[in-house]
Amino acid sequence: MTRVFVSQEIVEDALEEFEGSGITVDLRRDHRPLPAEELRATAADYDGLICLLTDRIDAEFLAACPRLRVVANVAVGFDNIDVAAATRAGVAVTNTPRVLTDATADLAFTLLLATARRVPEGDAFLRAGKYTHWRVKQEQMGVDVFGATLGLFGLGQIGRAVARRARGFDMTVLYHDVHRLPAEDERELGVTYVEFEELLARSDFVSVHSPLTDTTRHRFDAAAFAAMKPTAMLINTARGPVVDEAALAAALRDGVIAGAGLDVFEREPEVDAQLVQLRERVVLLPHLGSATGTTRREMCRMAARNVRDALSGKRPESLVNPEVAPREGTG
């Protein structure tokens, strides 16, 4: 019997993807991640795993699960998975790209606008009964977004979607990425490639859209913040560890930069206490980038399809490690 374990609750209609496949699926109906030791023990007798970013799939886990043939992450990122170790073990790794592009780009722009115009502060001010009359020198004075310069760190699918949204605000869009786009694509998107230092120096808003790698970890550190405009704001909907949170908190506290809008954190779900204490021009969200009903449903369905296909000897639609060829199950 071919068996699949789902480590945490997902949108249950995603399991319809397994109908008629002969694959047995065990869904754990709990939103809390299992401790690492318990996850290893539970998954040991399964052929496939659907997991979330909060599940650590490392060499120790893989060694404890010798039957495992595919791990499907319900996320576009996969820094919670040791892909090299999975490849050595012959385990296919999949993710859920594309389906969350627009939802995450929408949220990045939401954070940009909310931080620039101090929306959470205004909401709290009104709810506290402090709004008594309109005044020219409003307590929550913001900054203009229309016509500003937006710097994109990373220009994958989500970064490009944010660039397209910036057109409606007549923004000058700069970008820095390890791979420069062809000139024709740059013209179509209306973006200009610059080196990292120029991106920092020129941007009114810097939005992070890079994966987490050894080279991007803490790319935004004290030196990076010092290179930004004192009026600049940082937006991060990518991966928390790309930003040194302690350095960011210090930069915000000392006025090195003006604001930040964050949806992801360095030690998620823990958030640096200094950041939490900052109330002005700092917007913090609990990883809502892909959090629309339609998007999360399709992410779960894609993960299910990836596992079904891999266990049926077909190439999954979003295979992270193509070196691992799908192989037929023994039933």
Does pTM surpass 0.75?
yes
* 3-state class (DSSP) for residue 73: strand
Q: What is the set of active-site residues?
A: 239, 268, 287
pLDDT score, position 220:
98
How many whole angstroms separate alpha carbon 276 and alpha carbon 60?
Answer: 35
pLDDT score, position 327:
63
Task: Cite the beta strand spans of the chain per DSSP E.
Answer: 3-6, 24-27, 48-51, 70-73, 92-94, 149-153, 172-176, 191-193, 205-208, 233-236, 259-262, 282-284
Superfamily of domain 101-284: NAD(P)-binding Rossmann-like Domain (3.40.50.720)
Please, what are the averages of pLDDT over each run of 10 residues along the chain (331 residues)? 97 96 96 96 97 96 98 95 97 97 98 98 96 92 97 97 98 97 97 98 98 96 98 97 98 98 95 95 97 97 98 96 73 38
Domain covering 3-99+293-311: architecture: 3-Layer(aba) Sandwich (3.40)
pLDDT score, position 139:
87
pLDDT score, position 44:
97
pLDDT score, position 328:
55
Block residue for tokens 């820094």: 79
Domains 3-99+293-311 and 101-284 fall in the same CATH topology: yes
- The secondary structure element, H or E, covering residue 49 is strand 48-51
**How do the domains of the chain map onto residue ranges?**
3-99+293-311, 101-284
